[in-house]
Amino acid sequence: MNLTATTPPPATLPRKCSYAPADWAALADFWHPVCYSSDLGGTKPLAVVLLDEELVLYRAGGRVVAAKDLCIHRGVPLSLGWLEGEEVVCAYHGFRYGADGQCTRIPAQPETPIPRKLCLQTVLAEERFGVVWVCLSRSPRQPLPDWPELEDPGLKQMRMPAALWKCSSARHVENFNDLAHLSWVHAGTFGNRDMPEVKNYDVEVAPTGIHFVFDYPRHSIEDYGRRGAVEFIRYTYDLTFPFYTRLRIGFPDGRNFVAYNLPSPRSARETNVMFRLTRDFDLEGPDDPSIALQTQVLSEDRPFVEAQRPEELPLDLSEEFHIRADRFSTCYRKALIDLGLGRDFSA
């Protein structure tokens, strides 16, 4: 893989930025999920944080608007305000901004011409898969993940409530794609400690992501930790750089359950974890059993991921010990370096 580094970071980083400047600039060149589409609506703007940048999101002009959460008149967050029609109103002095971010009215001086520079600092936003994505740079380095099944009405479509994890996004990603922990961390749901060996598997690294397949002899997850029958499940992992994984879980009878892992990096040590889910069976059944089971699986992961030290993912391979089963991890760490992240990367 031959990827060029990003351009130097901007002169002004977010206040109290938790990233090295070059790492922040590299990550700012990618699309990141920040909320579900359904989180936007009504008359209240939504405040989110991405890469330490405080943003405000709202719908206007038939699209999602994302901007720095700041009215430049007196520095008050616009997320404290409200929406009227297709304009957002600052709660402090009533300044109004249109769908393009331009100020449209100054109530204290309604006859004063409004200068063009009185506008919001907008950033790129796209809405897809029922998720709002934001890129903090003006030229995204690669497109959004290619997950057309999340728009397929023939599948059962589900989503999990977002949860704030006290961990770096890269640590979260590495755990989600790790094979050796399955038999140990997930013994309460499906893990098979009688067959913990991770046999050789191939990892394909491409300019936009990583792909690998692994067959795991797990206990039937329908028995929910009661050590039911062992069944060979095919796990197909597709990671889109830098943090987004589609995991297809193929059952022996041909059914498929897919988990889309969407960790959003709030800061170098906080990650807002979102999940979309699909299944091609029990299409008329309720969402709750699938969501409850996935929630239980994540509850097994979370204490370990939040306890890892350093919180940063060491990209210098000499800083942690690696075994054959860590094939994905070593490829992932090398790929992050190729994306322009430093060896002391902490995201």
In the three-class reduction of DSSP (H, G, I as helix; E, B as strand; rest coil), residue 254 is classed as coil
Q: What is the pLDDT of residue 344?
A: 62
Per-residue CA distances from 225 to 228, 231, 289, 294, 318 (Å): 8, 14, 15, 13, 37
The encoded tokens of residue 159 equal: 């989503």
Q: Which tens digit of pLDDT belongs to each residue from 91-102?
A: 989 899 988 888
* pLDDT band with cut points at 50, 70 and 90 for residue 310: confident
Low-confidence winner among 134-138, 187-191, 248-252, 339-343 (lowest mean pLDDT): 339-343
Q: What is the pLDDT of residue 219?
A: 81
Residues of the chain with CATH 3.90.380.10: 148-338
What average pLDDT does this structure show over 199-206? 96
The encoded tokens of residue 49 equal: 């944080």
What fold does the segment set 148-338 form as a domain? Naphthalene 1,2-dioxygenase Alpha Subunit; Chain A, domain 1 (3.90.380)
Specify the higher pLDDT residue, 122 or 4: 122
What average pLDDT does this structure show over 249-257? 95
Q: What is the pLDDT of residue 318?
A: 86
Q: Which tens digit of pLDDT belongs to each residue from 2-46?
A: 333 333 334 368 988 999 999 999 999 999 999 999 999 889 999
The encoded tokens of residue 270 equal: 């906080």
Percent of the chain clearing pLDDT 90 (strictly above): 72
Q: Which tens digit of pLDDT belongs to each residue from 54-77?
A: 999 999 878 899 999 999 888 899
314 contacts: CB under 8 Å, gap ≥ 6: 320, 333, 343, 344
Please say if the pLDDT value at position 309 is more than 50: yes
| Neighbouring C-beta atoms of residue 112, cutoff 10 Å | 8
CATH code at 36-135: 2.102.10.10
What average pLDDT does this structure show over 215-235? 79
Residues of the chain with CATH 2.102.10.10: 36-135
* pLDDT band with cut points at 50, 70 and 90 for residue 226: low
